[in-house]
Amino acid sequence: MVNQVAELDRVFHALADPGRRLMIDRLSRGPASVSELGKPLSMSLAAVVQHVQVLEASGLVRSQKIGRTWTCSINSATLRSAESWISERRNLWERRLDHLGDYLADPAGQG
């Protein structure tokens, strides 16, 4: 439970940066090297590497050395756990609104 809380802290923190979201966006279309990930971003390679490390620490991205190049890819299980956290709360709230709507339409529950 504590681990899951800390994981969600790291995942949402990782997603809060537009450059890192651009990296996830790129990786959703297939694996890429660190330098490819940096191409659309106007920052130094050192800054790109730091962002990749934040993504790795969050569990959103995995890196693997192939030949002389580090290749990054998405870990979809982590994306799914963040998505589920949000969707469970949204569903609870929306179901509550639906019930309230039903009640207002037919307070005696005879419809």
* Interacting residues toward its own copies by CB under 8 A: 5, 8-9, 12-13, 15-18, 21, 24-25, 27-30, 74, 76, 79-80, 82-83, 85-90, 92-94, 96-97
Q: Could you tell me how many residues make up the chain? A: 111
Give residue 67's region: left, alpha or beta (phi > 0; psi -120 to 50): left
| Least distance from its own copies to the Cβ atom of residue 37, Å | 14
Taking a C-beta distance cutoff of 8 angstroms, is the pair 25, 17 a contact?
no
| Least distance from its own copies to the Cβ atom of residue 44, Å | 21
- Cβ proximity to its own copies: between 70 and 75 the closer is 75
